[in-house]
Amino acid sequence: MAKVAILGFGREGQSLFKFLNNPDVVVLDKKTDRNYLANLSSFDVVYRSPGVPYNLSEIQTAIKNGVKFSSATKLFFERALPVLRRGSGKIIGVTGTKGKGTTSTLIAQILKNSHQKVLLAGNIGISPLEILPKLDKNSLVVLELSSFQLQDLENSPQVAVITEIFPDHLDVHKNVKEYLDAKANICRYQKKSDPVFYFAGNRPAAKIVAQGSGKMIAVSAPDNLTKNHLLAAAVARHLSCSEKIIQSTLKNFNGLKHRLERLGAVKGIEFYNDSASTNPQTTAKAVSSFEKSLVLIAGGKDKNLDYAPLAKAIKASRSVLQVLLFGENKNKIFEAIAGAGVPVRLCRDLEAAVAEAVQKRPEIVLFSPGAASFDMFKDYADRGERFKNIVRSLSI
């Protein structure tokens, strides 16, 4: 009998344990065992959770020793594709550095409004294994896929969608090339007739697309907040959705939580929660989207990224009155943006940053961290909810 282990026991690890339904499966997690990587070569099959880096030396050694590594995403593709090929069903995979959650949700909503059988899962917060029981041969599955889920994937979705790409997760990936190579698995194994949608002006996305053999469909879009809407619309049109339903869905879409989420006005100041921004490029774009005077709150856990794009955006903006930094990498960001021409102050924590922002009396307080959340919070959603609670307390 094969010895099976689950490596990492977060959301996907727990869904795997439930799906495998085998009491003999061993769970390996750093929260319960500091030496959880020590004996990987003693197993026949190891299911890796996306939070465990694929390039760890212990994993690579185990692979050389003949251990088979899989994941919830790989297992889903292996089980789902044979079913979908019997009918008109498809997997629509969406990846990118910025906008993949919004684009995935929009595509799924348009398809749902078009009375298609739609299942949404992946990095959006639902393990793909959870939707397998609902799958039939005509299902349209929209999967949001991160670089960590894609890195060892050996199948590509029949429809690939790539949002904006720029360097990210360099605290885990060895370099930008490894990051882009991981993303490229979304189209690497496509057939020539399989479409891959991407933004025409995004060079990293073009490099990714070039690694596959699918039908390249470049979408031209202005550099603004609606470009992911245009990408979702292009995919929906390809899937035969009517223009009327596409336009209606886009018009009524309120956006996702923690993504430039407007919280309303308190004491005459508008507050925006952009906690999902874990990258300097996404924060730079958020800053550039406002014309009213604003105070930016940023900082968090470092991912070995360059903050020059954020400095450039702040310098070019006429709106930024002040930048308030907190978190593990606040000093790094301070050094990067010190010459941008606006006052920059270091704060003890998020609460202190909000209190100081309010004293400046801007028209807008923008919370767009541009860094990961794990220095102080469980995840970006936990961080965003903390910001919301702080803002609510201001009105009391």
Question: Annotated binding residues for ATP, as ranges?
Answer: 96-102
Among 227, 265, 99, 226, smallest CA distance to 218 is for 227
* 21 secondary structure, DSSP code: -
DSSP state of 274: -
Angle between helices 330-337 and 308-316 (to 10 degrees): 50
Instruction: Return the C-alpha torsion angle 107, 132, 208, 333, nearest 10.
Output: 80
Q: How far apart are CA 191 and CA 369, in angstroms?
A: 39
Other CB atoms closer than 10 Å to residue 64's CB: what's the count? 9
Cβ-contact 322, 295 below 8 angstroms: yes
For the annotated binding site, the residues are 96-102
Check if the beta carbon of residue 212 is closer than 8 Å to that of residue 185.
no
Which residues touch 27 (CB under 8 Å, ≥6 apart)?
Answer: 5, 6, 9, 13, 17
